[in-house]
Amino acid sequence: MLATLPEEDEMMPPEETRSGHPYFMHEMILEQPNALYATLEMCKRQAPDISPYWQGISKLITTGCGTSFHGALATANILYSLFERTDIDAVQSFELNHYYNTLNSKTLVLGFSHTGSTKTTIDALARSKSAGARTIGLTGVAGSPITKTANRHMIVGNGLEKSRAHTKSYTSSILAGIYMGTYYLREEVSNQSAEVILEQLNEIPEYIHSEIVQNEKKIAELATTIGFRAKRTFIVGAGPNVATAMEAALKLKESSYSSAEGMESEQFLHGPWVSLDKDSIMLVLAPQGPSRERHMDLLKALRNLDVKTITITDDKRIVEASSESIFIPDVKEELSPLIYIIPLQLYAYYVAVEKGINPDFIHYEDPKYWASRQVIFPPGTH
């Protein structure tokens, strides 16, 4: 059943709020395998009709705001390792609308918006279309404004998010973006790597289900014994997991109001690391790949500083160098963003629960924050 646009800005009616664990955020995290199954089936149905939008492009731009921009960034970072003759860039929607001036008929713009109502992204798609670019909107809400603005749209996931801390729509959007890009490459240029990725995408929902079953208890323990005490949390990743680090930091901020920052691993080593102290915690996303040795350097340095580290990895050397780790085997780096974000979402959730905070609200229930929100996002703009 397709989700339809709510009549008001409230995503979640008051009668559906929850006062304790499990909050809606937890339910949405656990629902991701079903949301991804639904997204895969949608992609398989629509791919033949959408593939022509990719033909002849010289530039692919992915765009969005907030969590949607992180989804756009993850999609771009995964696809640019596959496309050989196409420039690929992730551009925040405000920047695309006001500062980006190289749009033309050979540009394809993928706009990510969970609710389909984010005015900044809709305006960016409208400007792109007026410049001659092809536009596709990815959203979880049928009938939303983005479906009327883009040349083509895709409804991802299996219904509305019930928590304001978005989780399942993030992974569903990334999967849809990757699927469309790799489908085109397989069909039009016989790209063997794309063929392999398409096959592996079919396994992602079940893999996520198994990961939750195996690791949730440990993640909850880490969040409640270490995470909630941290005054500052840094999260780093490289390649496709730069976006994962940024999204994980955003989830910590939204759900538990924690001080958290996500960034690219090498960038962290060029200055920010000197701000670490014993009250900091470091989360490192370290699948096997080109960043392996630099992550080892980072972990060794942090051990000298007595900074606690939690790694998500498939590398036993990384595990041995970490204070704590979540071991996730058999995941190729290019698809790890779909997998590695799950324990981080759970980690953010359990930090919030330990702090006694409802992670679904993101301060919607506080009159001062609500009044400020109306300034930032007037009704109908987000």
According to DSSP, the residues that pair with 297 across neighbouring strands are none
pLDDT one-digit tens code per residue, 12-56: 444 478 999 999 999 999 999 999 999 999 999 999 999 999 999
**pLDDT for residue 210:** 94
Name residues whose C-beta falls within 8 Å of residue 112's C-beta, 6 or more positions apart in sequence.
62, 63, 64, 68, 69, 71, 72, 75, 121, 138, 139, 173, 177
According to DSSP, the residues that pair with 63 across neighbouring strands are 91, 111
Which residues of the chain register pLDDT less than 50? 5-15
Of residues 291, 290, 285, 342, the one with CA closest to residue 314: 285
**pLDDT for residue 4:** 57
**pLDDT for residue 135:** 98
pLDDT one-digit tens code per residue, 213-224: 999 999 999 999
What torsion do the CA atoms of 352, 353, 358, 359 make, to the nearest 10 degrees?
A: 40
**pLDDT for residue 11:** 44
Decide yes or no: CATH 3.40.50.10860 for domain 210-354. Answer: no
Residues 297, 276: contact at Cβ < 8 Å? no
Decide yes or no: CATH 3.40.50.10490 for domain 14-202. Answer: yes
Domain ranges of the chain: 14-202, 210-354
**pLDDT for residue 6:** 45
CA distances from residue 269 to 262, 283, 285 in whole angstroms, order as listed? 13, 14, 14
**pLDDT for residue 1:** 52
Phi, psi of 327 (to 5 degrees): -90, 120
Residues 109, 125: contact at Cβ < 8 Å? yes
Give the Cα separation of 279 and 302 in Å (integer): 13
The encoded tokens of residue 263 equal 């960034």
**pLDDT for residue 14:** 45
**pLDDT for residue 12:** 42
**pLDDT for residue 191:** 85
- Would 14-202 and 210-354 be classified into the same CATH topology? yes
